[in-house]
Structure 1
Amino acid sequence: MMSFRILSLEQPESKQPANLLKLANNLRNTQQFTQLYNLPTIEIDAWRSLDEIIDSIQLGNTNQITRLEWVYCLYNKAQWDLENPEISRETSALIWQAALTNLWLQKTLLWLVVINSSESQQIISKSLVETFSIFVSQAKQDNSQIIQIIQAITKGNYQQLALLAGKHNLTPQELLNNANLPSTIPTVHQALNHVVRIFVKNKQSEWLLRCFEQMSQEQQCQQVNNLLITVSAEQGSRFVSVVEWLRQNYGPRTINSRWYELSQKAQSALRQWIGAATWGDFEKLINLLLQDQYRYPEREKSQLESRKGFWSNYSDRFERLRILIPESTRWISQELTRDIDIDESSPTEVCIFDFGDLFIVEFFRGPGSEMLLFKRDQSPDFEKTLFESRELSIIEIRRLLRFGGKIHDHVYLWQYYAEKLLRTQNRIYPNDGTRYFQGLPAFCNRYSRATGLPVPSPDKQRKREENLVSWYENMERLYRRLGIEKFLGSRDVL
């Protein structure tokens, strides 16, 4: 019986390039290459080597190269260039030429150039980066913006990138997103460091705020410090939305505020920004009321002028302002940039100032025309009513006196006593550097932070006392008609 030897055959080597398959799988799971997600699942019997792909490029047969082969080529060309240095730039230039008519290749190359400029490691070959100028010189006009973006990124010109973004009213991240370029790269963070400087020139408030919202907490705080120190309160107060955003996020009284992360210089500047913006609204309101010289009698015009003069000395001290107007002056709401409230039953305009520890309600004109003072910590109802009540009215304001508070007059010499009250009992001082008190005649307007205004003569003080008697009687009748006469029981009139 014959026996045959068993033939053992080795399994043939796989023709599939393992590295290429691994690359394709990795690219699908990498956020940096999201534009490659649409690579089709390809089954190919014969895989081409990189040399063969490069040969097709040199022969001009780029239409025969699949997307996966392009990825393989771009990913490995740096190594190929080391082995073929004499034609590395030539072949890279041909790849950019192909990208002029191959939109998918073009987008992929541009994406990789941006990533390469933002990463510490090399993503694509040096020759591809250096021959980007081929694409720049021959690209269509439609690509001018994306070319400007990439040139700014490759040159590390972060300010130019921020300028481009501001020109189109886009944040740097929005700019790259719109151009279908990677937008989570470190370059975006660097560009955001220049937005404050650009804002000073372009005055785009909403753009600046969108940039702030896309910053890290640390970067945002740095840039807010920069903004407050760079831009004067006079200029900054004109940007109402920016001032309100700063107050809500960095204000000294806001819940969860980042106030204490600001430098002392920035804190001082922010107070001035908020105060100047608040004063600007108050001043504009008074000016609008005074424009119609026939609307008010002389006595009420004098009341308006005296309010304006007195509070101008505290223009840097306000933290918030709420305006309440009667139906008769509803037209003012169309002239102011801030929201105001209407009290149909009110005979006068009312402003509510937030000085931090103290709320002051200022009645502009009319027979009552008092000033009410409420300490913040005395009752939570003060802030809730004065700044949160949606249907605020004069009656509601005056009824707050049941929780405490003081009443101050506007009779003869009221400015002297009001300044003294603010300074001595509430530690509220006029603007820094005040030497002369605005709104007063020259003979009595010299101001000292330590002693206040010059003390009125005994004769003038007696005259004031006489006027106070009648004023108090009028106020008592007014409060009695409102059904709240008991609030004057303690005679908390200052």
Structure 2
Amino acid sequence: MNSQFSIPSLPETPQCSPNQLIQLASKLPDATISIPSVDKVLEAIEQGKADRVSKLDWVYCIHAKAQWDQQNIDRSRKTSAAIWKVAISNSWLQHQLLWRIALYYGDWQEQVLAQSLAESFDIFANSDLVNHLLAVQIIRALRSTQAGIELAKIACEKRINRTELLNTIKEDLPIWIPLFSRFIEEITPYFTTIRSPNQQQVRWVLSCLDEISDSQQIKAVNHLITNISNDIASNHSLLIDWLRHNYRNGENWYKLSDPARQKLREWIGGINYGDFQKLVNLILNRLDLQDFESNRLCRRRDFWADYSNRFERLRILLPKTSQIAIGYQIQGDLDLLEDDGSDCTEVCIFDFGEWFVAEFFRGRGSETRLFPKNPRNQQILFGESTLSVKRIRCLGGDKHDHEFLWQVFSRIWLANNGILPNPDTQPSRNPTADQLQQRENRLERWKREIERLEWEARTYV
């Protein structure tokens, strides 16, 4: 061996006598280790001493109850019911059990709660002291065969969307279980089961739609439109306004199904025609009109009823006298018509998609004007706050009379420009030769009147 490398010296191993260890242990104080058991907890409950059970004992009891039940099948349900009764007045135990039962019914794979505890939940939930709790109501929903629908019902009753619901219960229940993510798919299916939704319920469903992803919203809106009645739509302009704003223009319109697009067109048109119809009825009731003026307005109202599905937008312009008489009975896009010396008349401007139609109710001329929907006309007819009869006439456009048989020829005129009546509308009867001649005589006078009015408008503007 090379003398350069020497073996290091190691300390001597101490000699310990077992007798010394025994002597040392004998001097330690006595210690009793308490091992938790289900029986110990159940015994305390039976003796009315549940308040003395430690949190550690409760945790062990809940964890071990399933295994205990297998060895005590005949007592499993009765003892679980007793545990739930304690939880009614023990908020800490209540939280432990509710958290686990939510996992149990929330598609959680691990065994988190004894079946007997899950099946005895109603003992707790039916108590008047706790049945009002949101966490209890939610677990009832999770237990049902239609958990998503029931969760949507709770959210609707509380007037809260999914985010607000989860924020409310996140301290009480595990909000990350899959059902809480999926129940948003049941929002519109639940809403469409409400026979006569009120304004608050409509606001609730729109709040829910506003917070979800684009793909979820498209699916939900398709279901909403195709599954609620026309009566509900016509009674809730708030719903129609939201749908119009989010889906009538832009790429979302083309993501809707064909049936949904058709119904939405009809709803928007129906709401707008309803405003037009209401305006005519108010004028007839509130203003002192001559008989021929009243008859003329009634015929306008009835004629445009055949086009009610086509109204995209409506703007109402009233002279000061009409605005005073009608007051605030109309809720649409309503403005004061500037006085420019023209005959007193109300004017309605309809948006028919590719065309704007201006309808003059009364006075000399009393025509319908058709304007192409371009940026300039849109800005003037729907954007400018002050308009007058002469200002509208000065825009030109194609025009049509309201003389004898005007309905027959107006329908042809509109159809030639792609504006068609509602489906199933009855066609007009063909006029006789005498009627055509009578119309032609009146039409000549109207044309001369319109030329004079248009000259006045150009001069004024």
TM-score, scaled to structure 1: 0.73
Instruction: Please list, as runs of the form range in 1=range in 2, the aligned pairs for 1:167-186 lying within 5 A after superposition.
Output: 167-171=157-161, 174=164, 177-178=167-168, 181=173, 185-186=180-181
| Structure 1 counterpart SS, 2:358 | strand
Range that drifts further, 277-286 or 168-177: 168-177
Q: Are the counterparts in 2 of residues 163 and 198 from structure 1 also a CA contact under 8 Å?
A: no
Which one-letter code corresponds to 1:122 in the other structure? E
- The Cα shift of 1:324 comes to 1.6
Distance 1:423 1:177, change over 3 A: same
CA shift, 1:408, in A, is 2.1
Letter in 2 for 1:103: S
* In 1, Cα distance between equivalents of 2:257 and 2:363: 44
Identify which of 125, 129, 152 aligns with 1:162.
152
Take 2:355 and 2:223, find their aligned partners in 1: how far apart are those partners? 30
> Does the 8 Å CA contact 2:99/2:173 hold for their aligned counterparts?
yes
Q: Which runs of 5+ in 1 are unaligned?
A: 10-45, 437-444, 447-453, 487-494
Residue equivalent to 2:5: none
| CA contact 1:399–1:484 (8 Å) conserved in 2 | no
Residue 265, structure 1, aligned to residue 259, structure 2: yes
Within 5 A, what are the aligned runs for 1:50-449?
51=36, 55=40, 59=44, 60=49, 62=51, 65=54, 69=56, 73=60, 77-78=62-63, 81-82=66-67, 85-86=70-71, 92-93=80-81, 95-122=83-110, 124-127=112-115, 128-138=117-127, 140=129, 143=132, 146-158=135-147, 159-171=149-161, 174=164, 177-178=167-168, 181=173, 185-186=180-181, 188-203=183-198, 204-251=201-248, 254-256=249-251, 258-292=252-286, 295-330=288-323, 331-332=325-326, 334-345=328-339, 347-376=344-373, 379-401=374-396, 405-424=397-416, 426-436=417-427, 445-446=428-429
Letter of the 1:432 counterpart: P
Check conservation: 1:166, 1:207, Cα contact below 8 A: yes
The answer to whether the Cα contact below 8 Å between 1:234 and 1:273 also exists between their aligned partners in 2 is: no
Letter in 2 for 1:320: R
Q: For residues 294-353 of structure 1, give each alpha carbon's deviation from its aligned partner in whole angstroms, at most 9, with x where no partner exists.
A: 611223212211211211111122122121222222253522343422224273221111
Following superposition, the deviation at residue 219 of structure 1 comes to 3.8
Residue 16 of structure 2 corresponds to residue 5 of structure 1? no
Say which one has the larger Rg: 2
> TM-score w.r.t. structure 2 length?
0.77
% identity of equivalent residues: 34
Give the alignment of 1:462-481 within 5 angstroms: 462-481=437-456
The answer to whether the 8 Å contact 1:192/1:211 transfers is yes
CA contact (8 A) 2:85 2:124 kept: yes
Distance 1:63 1:400 in 2: 88
The letter for the 2-side match of 1:414 is: W
Aligned in 2, Cα 1:61/1:202: closer, same or farther, shift over 3 Å?
A: same
CA-to-partner distance for each residue in 1:221-277, whole Å, 9 max, x for gaps? 3333333333343542222111111212221xx134x22222222222221112222
Asked if the contact 1:58/1:94 (under 8 Å) is kept, the reply is no
Give the direction of change, closer, same or farther, for the CA distance of 1:123–1:370 in structure 2 (3 Å limit).
farther
C-alpha distance 317-463 of structure 1, shift in aligned 2 (>3 A) = same
TM superposition shift of 1:406: 1.6
Query: Gaps (5+ residues) in structure 2?
Result: 1-8, 17-30
The 8 Å contact of residues 318 and 337 in structure 2, kept in 1 or not, is answered as: yes
Cα displacement (A) at 1:140: 0.4
1:288–1:332 contact (8 Å) kept in structure 2: yes
For residues 195 and 306 of structure 1, the distance between their equivalents in structure 2, rounded to whole angstroms, comes to 42
Judge conservation of contact 2:390–2:460 (CA < 8 Å) in 1: no
Distance change in 2, residues 1:366/1:84 (3 Å): same
One-letter code aligned to 1:151: R
Q: Deviations over 1:130-187 (max 9, x none)?
A: 3323322445056366533321221233334433443444446645655565566135
Mapped partners of 2:411, 2:63: distance in 1: 76
Which stretch of structure 1 is more off in the superposition, 169-178 or 147-156?
169-178
Cα distance in 1 for residues equivalent to 2:195 and 2:204? 12
Distance in 2 between the 1:286 and 1:115 partners? Answer: 60
CA displacement at 1:395 relative to structure 2: 4.3
Structure 2 contact 131–137 (Cα < 8 Å) conserved: no
Q: CA deviation at 1:373?
A: 0.8
Instruction: Please say if residues 234 and 276 of structure 1, whose CA atoms lie closer than 8 Å, have aligned partners that are also in contact.
Output: no
Deviation of 1:467 (Å): 2.8
